[in-house]
Amino acid sequence: MLDPDLIARFAAIVGVSNAITDRNEIAPHLVETRGLYHGASPLLLKPASKEEVAAILKLASETGTAIVPQSGNTGHVGGQTPRAGKDDVLLTLSRMNRVREIDTSANLIVVDAGCVLQSVHEIAEQHDRLFPLSLGSQGSCQIGGNLSTNAGGTQVLAYGNMRQLCLGLEVVLPTGEIWDGLRKLKKDNTGYDLRDLFIGAEGTLGVITGAVLKLFPRPRGHQVAFAGLASAEDALVFLGMASDICGTSLTGFELMVRLGVEFTVRHIPGVRDPLSEAYPWHVLIDISTSDSAESAETMLQALLEKALAADIIKDAAVATSSSQARAFWHMRESMSEAQKPEGGSIKHDVSVPISSIPEFMAKAEKAVTAVVAGARICAFGHMGDGNIHYNISQPVGADKQAFIGRWREVNAIVHGLVLEFGGSISAEHGIGQLKRDELAEIRPAIEMDLMARIKRAFDPAGIMNPEKVIRPQ
């Protein structure tokens, strides 16, 4: 039980109406999207300024109160979920959602960390600019969470992760001090790279309250196509062709197994297979050009002709309108959602060297189905980045809970293979609670020790999102 006096002191900082103790109002913040973690919290604080955040963290450090920052609550690894059976105080910046500045000549935008990603897209568009970070959850996720998890998504191939899209940060430290690192410079070699330390730290080193983000010219040409292929090996050759022909204009290269396409056609209203025949593998290609609309068309045509002539792709549909292009993308983005009606799904967010993807796919399927007969591989992902969401739907008719109960066992098999290929067990979703212990097992002790030293140096009271990413010391 959090001391009522302490609750009152926190409430005094943000105002009583922004210090939520109502259980029903707090409830949605205690469960994450996949339902893997259920936490508890006596108090949800909604500060309106960095100064209020600073006062909250100062009081928390002085009183040893754990603070869990939560943005759009769309994370997949439980990083944003408070612990069960503790008195973790939730902190949301949803009231800090102002665009502080937009500078189209310098191609940058300065935002509060509570801005919803999609609102940043919209404001950039209104100024004829592109903010490229693109996620399925963009209607609810927030910039602070995107930064804290170094979010990736579908445009990483051309524009990079959130880390590459950020020029400067404003961070409130666990001690309540405010670091103003809101720089707007492309080049700045003045000491240790604090910015990149906070990005991807999942709220364990401080609370990001503001950021300078890069904008890009809106592409003049945009082409999307959906291809059918015989094998993952062919997809790899196709990726090589696409890189050769399109260079930096290749803005998306998404690989999907047939089953994923079938699930979306079956369960997502309005989705239909753009191709007339069924193929074992599919690729969604996205090309954006800065010089002209025609060059994107020329590139796509050249690529498809070459790939068809070489029998690397079997068929392809080109989106002839922007609504059709959105429909192709919608299929890809609904793939995780489309798994739900098929029962339980054991998920992986892995990366391997791109050239190893076909071999990884073959070995993983063999290993998983050897252990879980009838397991249905619904793998898809950002092949151009080496990042595969290796999801496994339960066998038809199996017991969902029994299947989900084998999560760790199946993880161990898939991740074991990932490590054999020199890959990562978390390409874009982060560590949170879900992969914390596994990370400590697979990484050298010195690496975990360096991370623990940084944690202690920045958060001596251990109040920032405790027990996430690294084990408590």
Residues of this chain, 90-129, that bind a second copy according to CB under 8 A: 103, 105-106
Q: How far apart are the C-alpha atoms of 281 and 279, rounded to whole Å?
A: 6
Please report how close the Cβ of residue 160 comes to a second copy at its closest, in angstroms. Answer: 8
Q: Residue 283: enclosing H or E segment and its boundaries?
A: strand 281-289
Please report how close the Cβ of residue 293 comes to a second copy at its closest, in angstroms. Answer: 13
Three-state DSSP at 317 gives strand
Query: Which residues 349-388 are close enough to bind a second copy by CB under 8 A?
Result: 351-355, 382, 385-387
Residues that contact a second copy, how many (by CB under 8 A): 81
Among the listed residues 144, 180, 179, the one whose alpha carbon sits nearest the alpha carbon of residue 162? 144
- Is the C-alpha dihedral spanning 162, 163, 169, 173 positive or negative? positive
Q: Does 289 bind a second copy (CB under 8 A)?
A: yes
Contact range with a second copy by CB under 8 A, out of 116-124, 311-319, 369-377, 443-451: 443-451
Question: Which residue's CB is nearer to a second copy, number 206 or number 274?
Answer: 206
Query: What is the DSSP secondary-structure string of 3-62?
Result: -HHHHHHHHHHH-GGGEE--HHHHGGGGB-TTS--B---SEEE--SSHHHHHHHHHHHHH
Query: Which residues 176-205 are close enough to bind a second copy by CB under 8 A?
Result: 177-181, 183-194, 196-197, 199-201, 205
Please report how close the Cβ of residue 62 comes to a second copy at its closest, in angstroms. Answer: 17
Query: Which residues 305-344 are close enough to bind a second copy by CB under 8 A?
Result: none
Question: Which residue's CB is nearer to a second copy, number 77 or number 257?
Answer: 77
Q: Does 466 bind a second copy (CB under 8 A)?
A: no
Q: Does 303 bind a second copy (CB under 8 A)?
A: no
Q: Does 282 bind a second copy (CB under 8 A)?
A: no
Question: Strands, E, within 39-126: which ranges?
Answer: 43-45, 67-69, 89-91, 99-103, 108-112
Number of helices (H) and strands (E), helices first, in the chain?
A: 18, 19
Among 70, 161, 251, 264, the residue binding a second copy under the rule CB under 8 A is 161
Contact 330, 271 (CB under 8 A): yes
Residue 18 carries which side chain, given as an amino acid letter? Answer: N
Question: Which residue's CB is nearer to a second copy, number 177 or number 420?
Answer: 177
Three-state DSSP at 389 gives strand
Please report how close the Cβ of residue 82 comes to a second copy at its closest, in angstroms. Answer: 21
Please report how close the Cβ of residue 245 comes to a second copy at its closest, in angstroms. Answer: 7
Query: Which residues 56-85 are close enough to bind a second copy by CB under 8 A?
Result: none
Three-state DSSP at 417 gives helix
Q: Does 422 bind a second copy (CB under 8 A)?
A: yes
Query: Which residues 231-270 are close enough to bind a second copy by CB under 8 A?
Result: 240, 243-248
Look at the chain and count its residues.
Answer: 473
